[in-house]
Every structure is written in C-alpha cells, then in structure tokens.
A and B are shown apart, each in its own frame.
Chain A
Amino acid sequence: DAGVIQSPRHEVTEMGQEVTLRCKPISGHDYLFWYRQTMMRGLELLIYFNNNVPIDDSGMPEDRFSAKMPNASFSTLKIQPSEPRDSAVYFCASSLAYGGQGAGELFFGEGSRLTVL
C-alpha cells in the first residue's frame, strides 16, 4: 500500500519566492497534518485537517503560510514570500483515528527539505 506521498523532496529557492509543498495522504485517513522540523525547534505542528476542514492552525507561523485541502486525497502548504528562516524539513502525516483516548498512529511522508537562500 502507498504511504503518505510528498513532493517535492527537495526545494532550493531564493528569498521572496513562493513555495508550494504537496501531500497525498493514505487513502481512507480522515486526518492530515503538516509539521515542520528544525534542529533548533524539533517537530512543530503547523496545522491539521479533519475531513478536509482545518481544525487547528494555531501553529502556522504567520500570514505568509497557508494550507489547503481541496479534497480527501490532496493538500498543499504554501509559503509566500519565503524567507531564509523558513528553511526546514516539512512533513505531512495522516491518521485514521485521532482525538480522544484512542488516538491513532501518525503516518509520516518522507518530508520536503526546503532551503531558502
């Protein structure tokens, strides 16, 4: 079975450019998460969706970041304009069950490594 699929795997861009990261969750998973990982801050939750609806976007750093989930099989995370401090690995994850005592496993994609020069 296909896991969570992210693209691009690597992106190098210049400050001020728009960056779009893409994610396809595991089929049937109702929850989709975007995380950012850096050496300094570890893994940080940016936003998560349930049935394509954003539930918690309190981790989105600022207005330069936006995320959408137009359907159950696709999500994007956009940074516009990008800045050097946005350099990080961005992970998408999906889950079948979430919230409550029976919260399920998060399945992560391989990540998108972003470098902003």
Chain B
Amino acid sequence: RKEVEQDPGPFNVPEGATVAFNCTYSNSASQSFFWYRQDCRKEPKLLMSVYSSGNEDGRFTAQLNRASQYISLLIRDSKLSDSATYLCVVNRNTGGFKTIFGAGTRLFVKA
C-alpha cells in the first residue's frame, strides 16, 4: 500500500461544475499537507497548503481530517484552465524528514 493514495481519475467534468478530490495517508506522524498542481509535461507547482481548520483560496477549498488521515480538495465553478493533475503531498518526520507525493488525480474540464 502506498503511503499517500489518490484516485487517479480521470475526472471529466463540464465547465462550471464542482469537483472534489480525496487523498488518504497512512503515516499518522504526518505533519503538514499540501496540494500541488502539475500541467501536462510541466513541473509540479504548489496550489495550496492544507490547514487543520480548512482553508479556502478563491474557488479552491482544502480540508484536513487528521483522525481519518484524509485530505480533500474542492474546486468550484471549474474552468477549462483547471485541467491538470492534482498531487496530494504529505510531509512527515519519522526516520528522517520526507516529502511524499501522491500519484495524482487527473482532471479534464470540458467546454
């Protein structure tokens, strides 16, 4: 079992739709959490950090549930430009500090 698991998708949604991605992590000592975005044949870039109280950045909302070891990303009013792969990222400090990337969830937003 992978330490960070995501549904690979793809998610195919129409413009304007709301879409949610989930991510689970197995190491309870995980400390900090992020969503990165990766466009096709490009490098990953930070989308947003995920805080315990939940946080919002425009159309994007991230949630963390430490008890269930679960992270989510909600995208409202999807745009064509949101089409990308979304990577769930976890930092943990057991046996050394490490950043673990999930395999990513692919999103296609259609006109």
A: which residues have CB within 8 A of B?
Answer: 33, 35, 42-43, 45, 55-56, 58, 91, 98-101, 103, 105-106, 108-111
Contact assessment for A106 and B46 in the assembled complex, using a CB-CB cutoff below 8 Å: yes
Contact of A100 among B44, B93, B96, B99 (CB under 8 A): B93
- The answer to whether B45 has its CB under 8 Å from any CB of chain A is yes
Q: List 28 A-B contacts (CB under 8 A).
A: A33-B99, A35-B101, A42-B101, A42-B102, A42-B104, A43-B44, A43-B87, A43-B101, A45-B99, A55-B96, A56-B97, A91-B43, A99-B93, A99-B97, A100-B31, A100-B93, A100-B97, A101-B31, A101-B32, A103-B32, A103-B91, A103-B97, A103-B99, A105-B34, A105-B46, A108-B43, A110-B42, A111-B43
With both beta carbons as reference points, the residue of chain B lying nearest to A33 in the complex is identified as: B99
Q: SS class of chain B's interface: helix, strand, loop or mixed?
A: strand
Shortest CB–CB separation between residue A57 and chain B, in angstroms? 11
Provide the bound-state CA to CA distance between A108 and B34, in Å: 15
Provide the bound-state CA to CA distance between A91 and B32, in Å: 22
Considering residues B31, B32, B45, B97, which has the most beta carbons from chain A within 10 angstroms of its beta carbon? B97
Chain B residues, CB < 8 A from A98: 97
Binary A-proximity of B5-45 (CB < 8 A = 1, otherwise 0): 00000000000000000000000000110100000001111
User: Could you say which interface size class chain B belongs to?
Assistant: 10 to 19
Contact assessment for A103 and B31 in the assembled complex, using a CB-CB cutoff below 8 Å: yes
Shortest CB–CB separation between residue A35 and chain B, in angstroms? 8
Provide the bound-state CA to CA distance between A105 and B36, in Å: 10
The 3 closest A-B pairs by CB, nearest first: A108-B43, A42-B103, A43-B101
